[in-house]
Amino acid sequence: MLNFTVGPVMCSDEVRAIGAQQVPYFRTPEFSSVMLENERLMLEFLSAPLGSRCVFLTSSGTGAMESCVMNILNDSDKVIVINGGSFGQRFVDLCRLHERDFTEIKLEFGKQLRREQLYEYSEKGYTALLVNMHETSSGVLYDMPMISGFCRENGIMLIIDAISAFLADELNMSELGAAAVVTGSQKALAVQPGVSIVALSPEALRRVETNKEKCMYLSLKEALKNGERGQTPFTPAVSTLLQINARLRAIQFGGGTSEREHIAGIADDFRSKIKDLPLEIVSESMSNAVTALHPLNKGAKEIVKILKDEYNIWVCPNGGEMADKVFRVGHIGYITKDDNQALIDALHDMQKKGLL
């Protein structure tokens, strides 16, 4: 099977071997030191400001998004949510559920957030902004320096869902002045699903400390307290955390930049090979993580199904209104240029048979 979805993605043999081991007991000094190293390396790769912390929650990425909405924001916040697709919508739904005072900036599918759309909300008393750095559903990578500048000028706390952008695109928490950055295990970290990660700046840490605790399982306060000694409040996804450690260590040797260059290389290779196929790129500004494509002649759903059933190649379907218009090809995970070629060959074969 070749997996070009956007997560869970394919894992290296080293990572898979860790998943095949018996799960070790975790209230041990050995596991604590693994966790402390995970925290240190995450903060390093994110270029987090001095005094930042990072916690690991046993949940999918949405758990970390929800923990930010519950633990960092409070009832007096006025929140802007950038909604350019299903992940932006998820922040909207979370703000609604947790009764946050929020305004959404709704974007057309595949479109970049424009400066004037955002600056309309200048000097209006907003205190926080939630954005999915890469809106994985449409493949749009937002203009983060622009968003960060807006937040700085307006004294707005910036919370970034970088679940699919971490390691794939340039992300410097200090430069962006971000209060919190969220990611997850099953995207470019390329390990099993099950762990989400929240990095918190000193500003966000103060918020968590003073806000009233709203939940137990996703409490960042509890996670931070336990994390001081390399532990978690409850049984974590131990194997996934060990896999994360192996990946972070491997990336450490190459450096975060070379991991990003590798992903960018896979993305560029794929994008250069589709030029003569009846596929149109739908996003105005792309992440290295994903290419969202609109097939010109056939329905997207059928293409996804044929690739899976006839070629054993998995690409990522879209949901909702876009289900038959768009499918996505991921460039994260244990993918090579040869794998790209196998997908391109399959698409050419489909074209020859009148299926594309």
Ligand X SMILES: *Cc1c(COP(=O)(O)O)cnc(C)c1O
- Where on the chain is the footprint of ligand X (CB under 6 A)? 7, 60-62, 87, 132, 134, 136, 161, 163-164, 184, 187
Report, in Å, the least distance between residue 61 CB and ligand X. 3
**Minimum CB distance to ligand X smaller for 182 or for 307:** 182
Report, in Å, the least distance between residue 90 CB and ligand X. 7
Report, in Å, the least distance between residue 32 CB and ligand X. 26
Q: Which two tokens stand for residue 334?
A: 């244990």
- Whether residue 199 contacts residue 173, with contact meaning beta carbons closer than 8 Å, is answered with yes
Report, in Å, the least distance between residue 100 CB and ligand X. 18
Q: What distance in Å separates the CA atoms of residue 38 and residue 45, rounded to the nearest whole number?
A: 11
Report, in Å, the least distance between residue 290 CB and ligand X. 8
φ/ψ of residue 341, rounded to 5: -60, -40
Closest-by-Cβ residue to ligand X is 61
C-alpha angle 158/184/31, rounded to 5°?
115
**Minimum CB distance to ligand X smaller for 154 or for 192:** 192
Report, in Å, the least distance between residue 60 CB and ligand X. 3
**Minimum CB distance to ligand X smaller for 251 or for 290:** 290
**Minimum CB distance to ligand X smaller for 82 or for 343:** 82
For 222, how many CA atoms within 13 A lie in the half-sphere containing its CB?
Answer: 13
**Minimum CB distance to ligand X smaller for 193 or for 278:** 193
The closest alpha carbon to 135, from 87, 65, 80, 176, belongs to 87
**Minimum CB distance to ligand X smaller for 31 or for 327:** 327
CA 17 to chain centre: 24
- Whether residue 196 contacts residue 189, with contact meaning beta carbons closer than 8 Å, is answered with no
Report, in Å, the least distance between residue 139 CB and ligand X. 10
**Minimum CB distance to ligand X smaller for 7 or for 233:** 7
Q: What distance in Å separates the CA atoms of residue 60 and residue 186, rounded to the nearest whole number?
A: 9
DSSP 286: B
- Whether residue 225 contacts residue 207, with contact meaning beta carbons closer than 8 Å, is answered with no
Q: What distance in Å separates the CA atoms of residue 108 and residue 103, rounded to the nearest whole number?
A: 16
Q: How does DSSP assign 181-204, residue by residue? A: EEEETTSTT-S-S--EEEEE-HHH
* Strands (E) located in the chain: 2-3, 53-57, 78-83, 101-106, 128-132, 134-135, 140-141, 157-161, 180-184, 196-200, 279-281, 290-295, 313-314, 316-317, 327-330
**Minimum CB distance to ligand X smaller for 184 or for 256:** 184
Report, in Å, the least distance between residue 159 CB and ligand X. 12
φ/ψ of residue 294, rounded to 5: -110, 115
